[in-house]
Amino acid sequence: MSHSNRLGSNHANWVNGLRSDFSREFANRREEEELKENLVGPLVNNVDRVHWYIKDNAKLHHTIKFDQIHDSSSPKPVFRRGQTFYVAMRFRDRDFDLDTDRIILNFRFGPKPSVAKDTLIVLPIINKKFTKTKDEWDVRIDPGTRAKDLVLQVFIPATAPVGIWRLNIRSGLKDRSQGAGMAVYKDETDVFILFNPWCKEDLVYLEDDKDREEYVMNDKGKVYVGSFRKPRGRPWAFGQFEDVVLPVACYVLELSKYPHSERGNPVKVVRAISGGVNDIDDEGILVGRWDGEYGDGIAPFKWTGSVRILEEYLKGGFRPVKYGQCWVFSAVTTTICRALGIPCRSVTNYVSAHDTNSSLTIDKFFSKAGDEIEGGPDGENWDSIWNFHVWNDVWMARPDLPPGYGGWQAIDATPQEESENKMQCGPASLEAVRRGDIGLGFDCPFVFAEVNADVMHWGEDDESDWGYKRMKMIQFHIGRSNPEGSAAERLAIHNAIRGSKRAQIYYEYQENVKEDVKFDLIELESIFVGEPFKVKVVIRNESDEPRTVSAALTAKSIYYTGVHHFNHQKS
């Protein structure tokens, strides 16, 4: 006999009834307890409204240019951490009395504010002076307090998370015998808190006024494209103070899924921005495209500013905008960073390497017939050299690295190679790149190769252990972080090779071959479309013996990213 049969057919209904009764009784008891706890006595002073002194605070916080400050219908405060701001509240029932009224400010950040994680700030109104350290939020009663108006000065520590905060105000009585409950006033104003490059305690502090004006406040400039012989500046309107920018910047941080408690760390924030400006992982701002087919969107070269892109992103329900290329990704990144208070600049690297396998080299493989083997011997090598590539430098201290590696850091929002399973890049210390210290976070090997990679040509060889021998190494082709041919440059490469096992393997294939025959392909100043052209190759034998030379000369068209398009002729 089954267990259910032994208990009778009505047992299941009886158990379900018990569950329902127990749940209902428990809920009723808790509701009664909460009503008792929250019982607000007749003497509690309720908050009627809050005044943020938006424009006065903005002048002190260098945020007066933001459109949010001047919105006629719903202005919003924009503060920088590491400073104080003023806020006032008017009570509805009677004059404020410090001896009678118990007032607590709750600043809340993120969906699950927590005191332990510094995303829920609890500030009781007690003192007329600041009493805490600069590492903590603090509040004092301002002498301007009168009658029903309580005026406060609040200090934001220079480590506070950046983004949108909200304020709740709890009001009750200090004498609990007259009522233990507290009324809660929920202010619906979005409070933007930003990084502060004017504050010495902030990790993004930038000392020089001219630098702050250029890399934080300047809302227009140029992004350079073209070639190293013919660089060309594209005018760009960054527009970081426009109304659409701050909300989208905060949304991009949400895409990163970084804990809200870590959003005071500029290292994490710029890494999130580099991943959120492109669309690969999290439906970020821009779709990249390089094949010339832009019929279902806008061609990258037609954009002239960031604001229109961000407006399209917001109006389209946060669907990625089509299309961008490296200079567009970089310009939008500049806009987002400057809006959040991070000093930022767009940087163009001419003859820029794209190393796809962390060898620190740009490797080209050729068959015995002289044909390039696309993808290399294993089909996984797609190294290329771009005419130019544009990324960003951001300024910050790096307490996570050894001393001396702070300052400018490279980040790159153009989707190229994954980092920690996501299309993001940086921040990579420029000092680490200059020294070849590629073991430091983040993505230093990739950035180092962009500016320092040696170009290696490999040819099929049946006598080689792995089927290829190195035919040529070009050391002075890629854009450099140190002067070409300098001792500092070769030392940096030596240091970098020591930090990469794959690079050690590639540089070990010397084969004891002397490179005593030099080839010089004379570069053409210009080629006119549809017109024939001549190529001049100078071959110089620097040995004392005759040399037999086999050469293959191929003319092909490529995109500016170095990606092969079409073979025109081979001889």
Q: Inform me whether the pLDDT recorded for 195 exceeds 50.
A: yes
Closest to 224 measured CA to CA, from 351, 409, 350: 350
Average the pLDDT over 446-461 and give the result.
Answer: 82
What are the strands of the beta sheet with 344-354, ordered from one edge? Answer: 344-354, 384-396, 407-411, 428-429
Q: Which of 412, 437, 443, 454 is catalytic?
A: 412
Q: Cα(479)–Cα(349) distance, rounded to whole angstroms?
A: 6
Q: Cα(547)–Cα(182) distance, rounded to whole angstroms?
A: 94
What are the strands of the beta sheet with 163-173, ordered from one edge? Answer: 78-80, 183-194, 163-173, 101-109, 120-124
Q: Inform me whether the pLDDT recorded for 94 exceeds 90.
A: yes
**Segment among 33-47, 79-93, 326-340 with least mean pLDDT:** 33-47
What are the strands of the beta sheet with 84-91, ordered from one edge? Answer: 47-51, 84-91, 149-155, 138-141
> Among this protein's residues, is 250 annotated catalytic?
no
Does 427 sit behind a cis peptide bond, omega within 30 degrees of 0 on the bond before it?
A: yes
Q: Which of 250, 389, 425, 443 is catalytic?
A: 389
> Among this protein's residues, is 389 annotated catalytic?
yes
| First-to-final CA distance of the chain | 91
If one counts every other C-beta atom within 10 angstroms of the C-beta of residue 449, the result is 28
Average the pLDDT over 151-175 and give the result.
Answer: 97
Q: Cα(445)–Cα(562) distance, rounded to whole angstroms?
A: 20
Q: Which amino acid is at 568?
A: H
Q: Cα(118)–Cα(120) distance, rounded to whole angstroms?
A: 6
Q: Inform me whether the pLDDT recorded for 418 exceeds 80.
A: yes
For 367-413, the three-class secondary structure string (H helix, E strand, C coil) is: CCCCCECCCCCCCCCCCEEEEEEEEEEEEECCCCCCCCCCEEEEECC
Beta bridge pairs of residue 393: 345, 410
Yes or no: say if 52 and 77 are a contact pair by the CB < 8 Å rule: yes
Q: Inform me whether the pLDDT recorded for 106 exceeds 80.
A: yes
Q: Is 460 left (phi over 0), alpha (psi -120 to 50) or beta?
A: beta
If one counts every other C-beta atom within 10 angstroms of the C-beta of residue 275, the result is 25
Q: Cα(183)–Cα(2) distance, rounded to whole angstroms?
A: 57
For residue 28, the model assigns a pLDDT of 62
> Among this protein's residues, is 400 annotated catalytic?
no
Q: Is 114 left (phi over 0), alpha (psi -120 to 50) or beta?
A: beta
For residue 498, the model assigns a pLDDT of 53
Closest to 263 measured CA to CA, from 184, 167, 348, 159: 159
At residue 361 the predicted structure's pLDDT band, cuts being 50, 70 and 90, is: confident
What are the respective helix, strand and coil percentages of the chain, to the nearest 5?
25, 30, 45
Angle made by CA atoms 324, 384, 415, in degrees to the nearest 5: 35
Q: Inform me whether the pLDDT recorded for 423 exceeds 70.
A: yes
Distance of CA 225 to the CA centre of its chain: 22
Q: Cα(488)–Cα(496) distance, rounded to whole angstroms?
A: 12
Distance of CA 24 to the CA centre of its chain: 49
Yes or no: say if 283 and 255 are a contact pair by the CB < 8 Å rule: yes
Closest to 386 measured CA to CA, from 293, 477, 457: 477
Domain ranges of the chain: 3-37, 47-194, 209-508, 517-570
Q: Inform me whether the pLDDT recorded for 509 exceeds 50.
A: no
Q: Is the model more confident about 2 or about 386?
A: 386
Q: Which of 62, 202, 250, 326 is catalytic?
A: 326
For residue 371, the model assigns a pLDDT of 83
Distance of CA 378 to the CA centre of its chain: 33
Provide φ and ψ at 122, rounded to 5°.
Answer: -110, 115
Exposure string of 389-401, with b = 16+ CB inside 10 Å and e = fewer, is: bbbbbbbbbbeeb
Closest to 506 measured CA to CA, from 438, 454, 445, 563: 454
Rg of the chain over CA atoms, in angstroms? Answer: 32
Q: Inform me whether the pLDDT recorded for 482 exceeds 90.
A: no
If one counts every other C-beta atom within 10 angstroms of the C-beta of residue 137, the result is 16
pLDDT tens-digit series, residues 235-268: 999 999 999 999 999 999 999 999 999 999 999 9
Q: Is the model more confident about 524 or about 378?
A: 378
Average the pLDDT over 27-49 and give the result.
Answer: 66
Average the pLDDT over 293-305 and give the result.
Answer: 97
CATH of 209-508, one of 2.60.40.1930, 3.90.170.10, 3.30.70.2190, 3.90.260.10: 3.90.260.10
Average the pLDDT over 329-342 and give the result.
Answer: 98
Q: Which amino acid is at 480?
A: R
0.85 exceeded by the pTM? Answer: no
For residue 35, the model assigns a pLDDT of 47
Q: Cα(411)–Cα(334) distance, rounded to whole angstroms?
A: 10
Strands 321-324 and 286-288: parallel
CATH superfamily of this structure's domain 47-194: Immunoglobulins (2.60.40.10)
Please give the full DSSP string across 200-257, using - where no structure is assigned.
Answer: TTSTT----HHHHIIIII--EEEEEEE-SSSEEEEEEE--TTSTTHHHHHHHHHHHHT
Yes or no: say if 243 and 407 are a contact pair by the CB < 8 Å rule: no
At residue 455 the predicted structure's pLDDT band, cuts being 50, 70 and 90, is: confident
